Amino acid sequence: MSILKLEEETIIKTAYDFPMIDIYDLANLKIPEAKEIVRPFIVEGSSMEIFGQSGKGKTWFTLELCLSIATGQKFMKTFEVINPRPVWYIDGEMKIDNLRNRVDSIMRRYPIPTTIPQGYLNITNPYIAKDKMLNKINDKRTQQGIREKIKEISDKTGQSVFIVFDNLSCLTNSKENDADDWVPMLDFYTQLKSENHSILHIHHSGKSGQSSRGTSRRHDALDTIIQLQTPSDYVQSDGAYYNIEFNKTRNFAGQYAEPFGVKIKFTGEKPNQTVDWDIIGFEDQKTKEVLEEYCSTYPQATVKSTSIATGIPTSTVQRVIRNSKESGQYEKVMREKHGAQWEKLKQTK
């Protein structure tokens, strides 16, 4: 306690207590190791963002992740689910029948008798919520309601919960570019993470397409940021088709952090469709993008212009072009793009 004198008036203030620990006590402290959920990018008490352009498949991608976590099935045929757990998917805009149909179309792909354990996939959306502050999850009272519901799910299942907010534009009324306006959500995330719950929010790309909209302060507390980036050769008929890139990887690196491409595919007719994904190795996808751009704009093409157009670093563009020339792939794409003119064109550089 400290006593301060100000203009003959005595003011008594109680100091805040700041706990600390000696380094030797820290060494002997028994700290439970956070359980892996999806190896390597989701662990208990972690937070992440998925962002991409509007209407390009973020919800499909997210539902695949939610169902993998709830059932234990491998995510995108690539990432092992180590510890399945309950998921609460909070959606801000989709029609409830569309949401149900998407879940069904994914589950049809899973081997029999894959099931979702009771209480392991919980869904809230405008139809279910009946306008109960669903667009204000940055509001303190709404957050308290969410925390109580999470505790209910956790108590029933005996597990921490994986919470999804899809998406921030629909579920919050904060000013996207105002860093201070994001503080209530940062505090909310900290509370949930301290209780071992894991968080994913979905957001839209900014104008450049290389980052999500709004304040960068939102990224400070995140462990992982995943970008769904539309390939340079994308056409509308391709549907959900994008490169998956890890823009922030706090807890992992190496081959797991390498980008890769995915393309959605449907079999059967509605309402009994099954959804699956073609997984394109990053090297294949990267080579395809570079050659598509470089060869299409040849002879004006440069390494720098190709890098700008594709978002791929110049050093990588150089390596891809060099390797594709050695493999003969460059020659093949040039002939496809320019036909008989290629023999003349290749003399110009």
- pLDDT per position in the chain (349 positions), as tens? 445 555 555 565 677 788 899 999 999 998 888 899 999 999 999 999 999 887 778 999 999 999 999 999 999 988 999 999 999 999 998 999 999 999 999 999 999 899 999 999 999 998 888 866 677 899 999 999 999 999 999 999 999 999 999 999 889 988 877 888 888 899 999 999 999 999 999 998 876 666 677 777 788 889 999 999 876 666 666 677 788 888 888 877 777 777 788 888 899 988 889 999 988 765 566 787 888 888 888 888 899 998 888 878 888 888 888 888 888 888 888 888 888 787 776 666 5
Q: What is the DSSP letter of 212?
A: B
Query: Residue 92's Cα: distance from chain center in Å?
Result: 17
Handedness of CA 283, 286, 292, 293 (dihedral sign): negative
Q: Can you name the residues that pair with 224 across neighbouring β-strands?
A: 48, 249
What distances in angstroms separate CA 24 from CA 20, 21, 28, 29, 159, one per listed residue?
12, 8, 7, 9, 32
What local confidence, expressed as pLDDT, does residue 217 receive? 78
Peptide bond preceding 323 in cis form (omega within 30 of 0): no
Output the six-digit token pair for 317.
């563009």
What count of Cα atoms within 13 Å lies in the side-chain half-sphere of residue 97? 2
Peptide bond preceding 117 in cis form (omega within 30 of 0): no
Handedness of CA 275, 286, 290, 242 (dihedral sign): positive
C-alpha angle 30-46-262 in degrees, rounded to nearest 5:
140
Q: Can you name the residues that pair with 263 across neighbouring β-strands?
A: 241, 278
The structure tokens 């769904």 sit at 228
- At the second CATH level, the architecture of 38-280 is 3-Layer(aba) Sandwich (3.40)
What count of Cα atoms within 13 Å lies in the side-chain half-sphere of residue 263? 12
What local confidence, expressed as pLDDT, does residue 208 receive? 61
Q: What is the spatial distance between Cα 112 and Cα 298, in angstroms, rounded to a whole number?
A: 51
Q: What is the spatial distance between Cα 221 and Cα 117, in angstroms, rounded to a whole number?
A: 31
What local confidence, expressed as pLDDT, does residue 31 receive? 85
What local confidence, expressed as pLDDT, does residue 2 receive? 47
What local confidence, expressed as pLDDT, does residue 10 receive? 56
What local confidence, expressed as pLDDT, does residue 225 receive? 93
Q: What's the full length of the chain, in residues?
A: 349
